[in-house]
């Protein structure tokens, strides 16, 4: 049996089939959960300086919280939806935190997922990370306030 090399005109005939075969391998659904950055990527060394600070205002029963990011001597307003308040929350509460891994203000927007820790009256921090490897560490100030994030995450949108 002998093999001949394909001539250019043969490749022209086969090209649509090759393109169709490659296109069928493209993902049709969102990436699996393991495609999301691992919580290990959000590990900080002791003494790591914060790139910014955040302040959130939460209101009982509101689906969206308003916040302010201060970084590089600038102030950015944002909203976060999907952040849940558990236990007996006051009618209005302010939560503060630190931001790490912020290179550009546009990196701050996105979907944040829990990467370890729960903010509660025990002083632990809720650590939220996004696909741009930005980490928000929120601390609960009011006693009895516990913050959480659902599995699908919380969405941060920068205000225009």
- Give tens-digit pLDDT for 53-90: 999 988 877 778 899 999 989 999 999 998 877 656 67
Question: Residue 139 is part of a domain; what is its CATH number?
Answer: 2.40.128
Q: What percent of the chain has pLDDT over 70?
A: 60
Q: What is the mean pLDDT of the chain?
A: 75
Question: Of 49 and 123, which is predicted with more confidence?
Answer: 49
Does residue 118 fall inside a structural domain? yes
pLDDT at 52: 92
Query: Cα separation of 28 and 149, whole Å?
Result: 27
Distance set, CA 90 to CA 38, 58, 80, 143 (Å): 33, 9, 18, 10
Instruction: Classify residue 59 as exposed, middle or buried by CB count within 10 Å of its CB (0-12, 13-18, 19+).
Output: middle
Does residue 119 fall inside a structural domain? yes
Query: 59: domain range?
Result: 51-158
Question: Whole-prediction pTM value?
Answer: 0.68
């Amino acid at each position: 049996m002998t093999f001949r090399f394909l001539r250019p005109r043969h490749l022209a005939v086969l090209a649509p089939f090759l393109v169709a075969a490659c296109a069928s391998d493209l993902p049709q659904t969102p990436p699996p959960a393991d495609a999301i950055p691992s919580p290990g990527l959000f590990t900080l060394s002791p003494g790591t300086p914060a790139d910014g600070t955040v302040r959130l205002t939460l209101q009982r029963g509101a689906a969206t919280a308003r916040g302010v990011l201060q970084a590089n001597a600038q102030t950015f307003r944002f909203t976060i939806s999907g952040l849940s308040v558990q236990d007996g929350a006051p009618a209005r509460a302010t939560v503060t935190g630190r931001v790490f891994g912020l290179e550009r203000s546009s990196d701050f927007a996105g979907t944040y997922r829990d990467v370890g820790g729960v903010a509660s009256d025990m002083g632990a921090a809720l650590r939220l990370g996004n696909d741009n490897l930005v980490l928000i560490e929120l601390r609960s100030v009011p006693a009895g306030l516990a913050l959480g994030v659902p599995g699908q995450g919380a969405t941060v949108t920068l205000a225009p």
